[in-house]
Amino acid sequence: MIKLHGLHFDEFISEDKLKQAIEEVANKINEDYDGKEPLFLVVLNGAFKFATELLSRFNGDCEIEFLKLSSYDGTSSTGEVMTHIPIDADLEDREVIIIEDIVDSGNTIEKLTEMMVSGGVKNYRFASLFFKPEAYSKEYKIHYVGLEIPNDFIVGYGLDYNGLGRNLNAIYKLKNTKMTNLVLFGPPGAGKGTQASFLKEKYNLIHISTGDVFRYNIKNATELGMLAKSYMDKGQLVPDTVTIDMLSAEVDKNADANGFIFDGFPRTIAQAEALDTLLSDKNTQVSAMIALEVDDEILVQRLLERGKTSGRKDDADETVIRKRIKVYYDETAILKGYYQKQDKYFGVDGVGEVTEITARLSKTIDTL
């Protein structure tokens, strides 16, 4: 397994299998172009390794030209093909073989076909190392195909993920990360911390408490911790970007985890959107926002009872307790709507024995 820009990739196709596929493509081209002098048009950047191996196996004379197109941003196609380096050769009445790294949607093939037609070529054919039949939506024929593959994102042998991976001699497939990621909420006194402990053990999840993450970074004087402290020392709120970077670092530390319980974050729509982006970049997403629901009066009584032994002043003052509860609902109401629109909000009865509440939470999680 390799890691590029925080994403994990598993080996998918070995170098030996790639070389065998290229050899077979070269044999077909040699047979079809025996005695001819074709122009090989190499599409950069992805096809450079394929082209190097393929052209070294071509038996006749030929010309080689390059052009550069792009349609990918990150791990997905933009649907728009951009020309960065145009064709610098006279195509009229030429025999052209276009060397591509991979054909998926077919948008690039369509663009190249338009170039060939407008250039007045005598004959043109496509040679691609990879072809994704599930993703292909065009009717243009791909004449030479090394390997047909599923519609997965791959890197290596010229193909990249945001600039990395082209130099790899094997092909790696984006790891299909199926995580259970929970945003756990509950008003003061709902027992959120207790339930988080049970859930992380039962489902083998990583519990990320924003408060704990802040304390760790500040205590250990990490770069992010020092940055956060600089804002706190001025009495300013720590920017969301700093918090997100801290959470991202925690996720990266546990890239092979079954999932995460996010405790204390997000608190705003902007933070929720930032968390969605963070997880999307890691090839996963929030599975659910789960909120423990407890009547206010029960919460007040729980906290007052806890205040007798906890030593916390905010557990001993009923007025303070009620303000804390109100702040929670003011914050959560907005997020509740955000996750309801995604069908990801789940309210769970937080009254009863600890084991009963755990069972209710588990029942909800098991349906995800």
Alpha helices, H only, the chain:
15-32, 48-56, 107-119, 192-202, 210-219, 223-233, 240-253, 269-281, 296-310, 318-340, 354-366
Q: 113-166: per-residue pLDDT in tens?
A: 998 999 999 999 999 999 999 999 999 999 999 999 999 899 999 999 989 999
The answer to whether domain 2-174 and domain 182-366 are alike in fold is: yes
| Domain limits, the chain | 2-174, 182-366
Closest CA to 256 of 158, 196, 176: 176
Please give the pLDDT value at position 16. Answer: 97
**Which of the residues are catalytic?**
192, 267, 306, 312, 324
Closest CA to 100 of 122, 135, 68: 68
* Stated pTM of the model: 0.55
- 349 - beta bridge partners? 293
Domain spanning 182-366 has what CATH number? 3.40.50.300
Contact indicator for 2, 172 with CB cutoff of 8 Å: yes
Contact indicator for 240, 272 with CB cutoff of 8 Å: no
CATH T-level fold of 2-174: Rossmann fold (3.40.50)
Q: Per residue of the chain (368 residues), what is the pLDDT tens digit?
A: 788 876 778 899 999 999 999 999 999 999 999 999 999 999 988 999 999 999 999 999 999 999 987 665 544 555 565 555 557 778 899 999 999 999 998 999 999 999 899 999 999 999 999 999 999 999 999 999 999 999 989 999 999 998 999 999 999 998 766 789 999 999 999 999 899 999 999 999 999 999 899 999 999 999 999 999 999 999 888 999 999 999 999 998 887 788 999 998 998 999 999 999 999 888 789 999 999 999 999 999 999 988 888 778 888 889 999 999 998 888 888 899 999 999 999 999 999 999 999 999 999 999 88
CA-to-CA distance for 93 and 123, rounded, in angstroms?
Answer: 8
Looking at the chain, the whole-number percentage of residues with pLDDT higher than 70 is 95
Please give the pLDDT value at position 202. Answer: 93
DSSP state, residue 216: H
Please give the pLDDT value at position 80. Answer: 61
What the block records as the tokens of 143 is: 């004449």
Please give the pLDDT value at position 86. Answer: 59
Max CA separation in the chain (angstroms): 95
Task: For residue 41, give Cα distances in angstroms to 100, 122, 143.
Answer: 9, 14, 14
